[in-house]
Structure 1
Amino acid sequence: MAQDNEHLGDFFISVEPMPAFLDRVDVSFEVGKEFGILNVTAVEKISGNQRSVKMEARSRLSKKEKNKWMKKLFGQESIEVSVTNVSTRDALSLYLNPGQTIMSLKTELEQKGLMCGTDNIFFDDIELKDTQCISEAKVTWGSALEIRQNEQA
């Protein structure tokens, strides 16, 4: 198992010199919503000095390797979809975790600048609910999602 590990990166946190029994650094690791992202946060308790880093391994894994790890970790393969903003005509291709909620997808697309808070995601002309999972919405490999204003708004 250790031979499968890859070095993602390094980061440093400054800690003032002190006796070994006094120093305390809490480190937390969080696997990101997208495959291949690791968020690491370290906090030195006495000074409150904190450092966070987002490590990404996107370019290191092929599509086949990503799907292998998705299947191994979550019991399901990722789904490649195209997402298009109807009003701006911006588009991109994404790999989604089938267990991901529509709300987390919206947040991700807002961070990428593809949609704003008043936009909604549609699949086959049906507005997807924030609490739905990708798999519940019947989104499959090669599906096309649209970002647009809700007609009722």
Structure 2
Amino acid sequence: MANVRGCNLPDDLYYNVENNVWARREADGTVTVGMTSYACSLAGEIVSYTPKKVGKSVELNKSVCTVESGKWVGPVKAPVSGEVIAVNDAVQAKPGTINADPYGAGWLVKMKPTNWDAESANLLTGAAAAQAFEAKMQADGFGGCA
């Protein structure tokens, strides 16, 4: 697992660095989506999570959910286009789970991608993702994850 400025970036995930989101391709072809630890650190403690409804089609880089913290409200953007097939009810009950475990229990939505092969080519993994996040953090003046 890469660690950039104290932010964990699991090697097996696909990252949209610009939008601070990750995607994990599951064995059945679905995609689990979440916020990076960097995004969680920037946002602060998440207090609200409002996902799109199951069955809703979401285009690439459009909102799959809205999250709110004490200092920020905003969309979490889809790393690939597809249909929302599940939302995380546990996170809806306890939004802070996103901060506590962004790559595990804090996932946001599961999607059935419409064009994984083409769209995932624009996502970064492993060392390439770590280098891109380091550059982004440098440009943003980010000190590091807590």
TM-score normalised according to structure 2 size: 0.22
Q: Which one has a larger percent helix, Structure 1 or Structure 2?
A: 2
